Amino acid sequence: MANNRNAGVLVHLTSLPGKHGIGDLGEGAYRFIDFLVASGQRLWQVLPTGPTDPCNSPYASYSAFGGNPLLINIDYLKQINLLDAKELSSLVIPEYPNVNYPFVNEVKHNLLQIAFQRYRSTEPTELTQKLLEFQHRQQHWLSDYSLFMALKDHFQGVSWTKWPEPIRRRQPEAITAWQKSLAAEIQYQEFLQYLFFTQWDMLKTYANDQGIKMIGDLPIFVAHDSADVWTYSELFDLDNQGIPTAVAGVPPDYFSATGQHWGNPLYNWSKHKEQDYSWWISRIETLLSIVDLIRVDHFRGFEAYWSIPFGEKTAVNGNWKKGPGACFFQAIEQKIGYLPIICEDLGFITKEVEELRDQFKLPGMRVLQFAFDELRANVHTPHNHVQNSVVYTGTHDNDTTLGWFQKATKETQTYALRYLGTNSGNIAWDFIRAAYASPANTAIIPLQDILSLDTKSRMNTPGTAEHNWEWRFHPSHLTDEVTQRLAAMTTLYER
């Protein structure tokens, strides 16, 4: 096909089916790629894949570089003789409608510990050499991350700002002493990261070989309680105790009347510039080693970001501060040679944000659920889409399209149906058709909409802390009828 039009599906790895209580890098992921191929898709978009905090949000990670151990395929450990069938059976549970994080965390980490101890008790093997090679390749982040996680476990999960002062301030003698006393725990963390990246590389190779590109997600901000902030505290706006002076969020918007108070520390952009944005370049290069394209979350923060004084309970009393702007992307482009980036340019977007995006010819996002709420055409309405953009029916922060429609006002429903020329027999597929017919070069559809699911299958509700990131689908959902319908739509609109 001689055009640039393509299509893909948004679904996170944790949502995949499987027998171990959570989607992972195992059989369910490979079968999902088979579905993408059969339905004519070219892209698979996932959420951030870093190690998550106890709230399990992919956007609250202990590392901007590492992988989430919960995504490790446990069955693989039997294949390399580190677990046996009896041990694996402790994690075989009935298909959960949702992820049971407390159970999965406990049992999966117990099994990973068993596998690690078995690895340590054996004579050096090919696996030993591969692990050493991995440690060497990833040294720029792995040693600091592994020490951080070992210390987190040692201090029973408390924030690094509450650790004893010598190690909190990363005094060299303290680093050396803790590296020695926690040597086994550090090696365990490196072992987990080796497993994650090895399994990811196998999955990506399988996808790429069949014409499927992976889209990763890069949150602009990182968690305060992370290896990154502890290791590179000078790159963030912190006081002398390591506490943020101001935190990130967004002002009141579509999702919240009081804004979104994310709580992430803000960057000391002048320090980043002094270092030629080396930390950012390393972060992007590491992510590009496991994905083909990157969706940059909260792109507008590179032009200007919302600064909330530390201690505020909501995001209302903040102010805009200038971001690094074009010089940041010029540094990235000069190092990498190109910018394989999709801009998440939703929310309060100014002319300056649009100019920054367009200066580097980066595609922005269009979301169909935002096309009808104002009862008039806007940038999200399909006839206003531009070619260099990515259209979604909704995002991971939106309700499903069916759930959105059921909750919409009568006026909004009427406007949407009139625009789409439909009787709402299946509003989710009406939206998919509109997305596929859009001038936008790329269309990405959340799997929930392809399956015509309602609010019970929503992935995340911004501003809430419970029951997010838990949704999973069952393999029986991907029927021949769904596959063929999506393939026909893809062919019809030349994607």
Residues identified as active-site: 297, 344, 397
- Residue 479 buriedness (CB in 10 A; 0-12 / 13-18 / 19+): exposed
Overall size of the chain counted in residues = 495
Backbone angles phi, psi at 229, to 5 degrees: -70, -40
Q: Are 14 and 469 in contact (CB under 8 A)?
A: yes
- DSSP H or E run through 295: strand 293-297
Pairing of strands 293-297, 213-219: parallel
Which two tokens mark 22? 């959570």
Q: Closest Cα partner for 490 from 2, 3, 31, 5?
A: 5
Nearest of 485, 457, 345 to residue 97 by alpha carbon: 457
Task: Give the pairing of strands 246-250 and 260-265.
Answer: antiparallel
Tracing tokens 């171990």 back to the chain, one arrives at 20
In which element (H, E) is residue 183 found? helix 183-209
- Residue 324 and residue 273 in contact, taking contact as beta carbons nearer than 8 Å: yes
Determine the Cα angle at 119 with ends 117 and 121, to 5°: 70
Give the type of residue at 472. R
Q: Which residue has the tokens 């924030």?
A: 159
Tokens representing 488 are 């026909």
